[in-house]
A and B are shown apart, each in its own frame.
Chain A
Amino acid sequence: MSISLKGVSFSYQPGNPILRDINVDIQRGECVLILGRNGAGKSTLLKLLNGILKPTAGEVLVNGRNTASTPTSDLAAHIAVTFQNPGDQIFASSVRKEILFGPTNLKRQNAELLTDKALTTFGLGSKASRHPYDLLPAERKLLTIASAVATDAPFLAFDEPSAGLSHYERESFTNAFEELKTAGRTFIVVTHDLDFFITLATRVYIISSGGIGYAGSADDVLSQRETLRKLGVRIPLSERLLGMLE
């Protein structure tokens, strides 16, 4: 099970590529972080993974399926993507219905069970009958993540999943993440929150000027402070000060 990006380029406007010749391989059980400046193309990269966008050059293979020729509805069984703005994807009239939609649509035998499990894992059980727009923004974010998890897709790609989450939700998010990782799920996470994700990550890519500006293991990345700074990656102030003072 893998995701391969082979020489992938993408342009929203002809002649003005936002991503150029990207080569990345993601294996089952990994947690890959995608970092980079605002507007670097991180979210675009995620949309290429589930076929919402098709590469203008190169190919994206998800479990061997070429996203250019595979319907997005088929790819959804393999990869679930959440958007940065929960409002771009939420449509159901209750939290439970929103989560249930994915596994039902994918004809998962245990759709109800997957839904209940996701509700519990992300602490949304008591809010199952609420309208998604009655939730707080952080809870709506968790709802989109729970919906992706409930699809039972082996690959999960999240766009800034921790933005707006306070440390309560972060704690339950970390626990859920560890549990899903142990169960063999694979994560691709677009984030500015290196501090939070670094302990969960296996590999880190930093997108810069349309290409991969840095690729390395999660264990090494924090020692590359100068590179991180140059490539616009946020390092928490407390971390910076400790580095400076010690």
Chain B
Amino acid sequence: MEIRLDGFSFQYVSSQPTVVSEVSVAVASGACCAILGPTGAGKTTLLLAISGALGAQHSSGTGRGEISVGPHVFRPMPDKVLFPQVGLCLQEPQIMISGLRDTVYDEIKFSLENISVDPELHEEQIVSVMERLGIQHLRDRKPFTLSGGELQRLTLATLLVVQPPVLLLDEPGNSLDDDALSRLVRILRQLRGRTTVLFSDNQPDLAILAADSILIMEDGEVISFGDKKSFLKNLGEFKSSLPVRKWQDVIRVLSRSSSLRAKRVKKRFGLA
């Protein structure tokens, strides 16, 4: 499903500044777009707006422009949560857990129950999602006894099991260890072509590893929107919005090196 925003703006309270201003971007069906920027850039608001949660919960806010999710055009944005077409994973995993199920397995199963899918027919699917996220050993644990990183993986599992055509992830790499982060990258790559993914982050690493396009925001406005190659080639332009210093070093080393390894990395990042 393609996601398109045309001149989308939003203000939570009329007396306060606009948190998202005139955002116009299109993310093709099955592509992965990273939304990068510092705190307060408007990244979360954008994800909430596309998911329908913003329109459903902040009716006192003022929106302009339009948001399209696949063939559906919403002016200015959807006014109800679009789950299960759109899955949204919030930054604080604690609030994503239902509190109604006693085990990790049942919490994931609960997602399927919610969309009237018989979970008994989909046991393999639940097991597979747990394996992909490396949480199969937590299968019988109570969700609220999990650590922060484990909980974050569980919330991702509850969404992935539903296979929404659009997946929105708000800073999904926070609190993940090395293994979980590698798994997340693998999953994002596997979803390419099937699921449209938009994720936010304030660091560039996950975007460089997994995104096709990168949207950079600051103070609610789009600073840049383009492919990964142009992002990496113009890193210096983003140093006030993002921690890119080390990446500038990487690009410098890559441009000087003609080793096989450097060639491989360049190819992977589309710089060859």
Which residues of A does B touch, CB under 8 Å? 12, 36-40, 42-43, 84-85, 87-88, 136-139, 159-160, 163-170, 192, 229, 232-239, 241-242, 244-246
Contacts and interface: CB of A to CB of B under 8 A. Distances in A.
A85 B92 contact: yes
Contacts of B178: 37, 192, 229, 232-235
B7 to A, nearest CB: 24
A17 to B, nearest CB: 15
A164 B205 contact: no
B39 A39 contact: no
A166 B242 CA distance: 8
A85 B261 CA distance: 40
Contacts of B40: 136
B179 interface: yes
B147 A38 contact: yes
A168 B38 contact: yes
B265 A245 contact: yes
Interface in B187-210: 202, 205, 208-209
Most buried by A among B38, B40, B149, B262: B149
Contacts of B39: 136, 138-139, 164-166, 168-169
B254 interface: yes
Interface string B218-241: 000000000000000000000000
A108 B237 CA distance: 47
A61 B91 CA distance: 35
B270 to A, nearest CB: 15
A165 B253 contact: no
5 contacts: A137-B92, A159-B148, A167-B38, A169-B38, A238-B205
Contacts of A229: 178
Contact of A232 (B91, B95, B179): B179
Contact of B253 (A37, A88, A234, A246): A246
A202 B254 CA distance: 33
Interface string B145-159: 111111011000000
Most buried by A among B37, B95, B178, B209: B178
Interface in B130-188: 138, 145-150, 152-153, 171, 174-181
A85 B155 CA distance: 15
Interface of B: 37-41, 44, 91-92, 94-95, 138, 145-150, 152-153, 171, 174-181, 202, 205, 208-209, 242-243, 246-247, 249-250, 253-254, 257, 259, 261-262, 265
B148 A237 contact: no
A85 B149 CA distance: 11
Given A39-B146, A43-B148, A167-B202, A84 B175 contact: yes
Given A85-B92, A139-B39, A168-B38, A38 B153 contact: yes
Contacts of A43: 147-148
Contacts of A167: 38, 202, 242-243
A42 B149 CA distance: 11
Contact of A242 (B208, B243, B253): B253
B213 to A, nearest CB: 18
Contacts of A166: 37-39, 41, 202
Given A39-B149, A137-B44, A166-B37, 13 more contacts: A38-B149, A39-B147, A43-B148, A136-B39, A160-B175, A163-B174, A169-B39, A192-B178, A232-B178, A236-B205, A241-B250, A242-B246, A245-B265
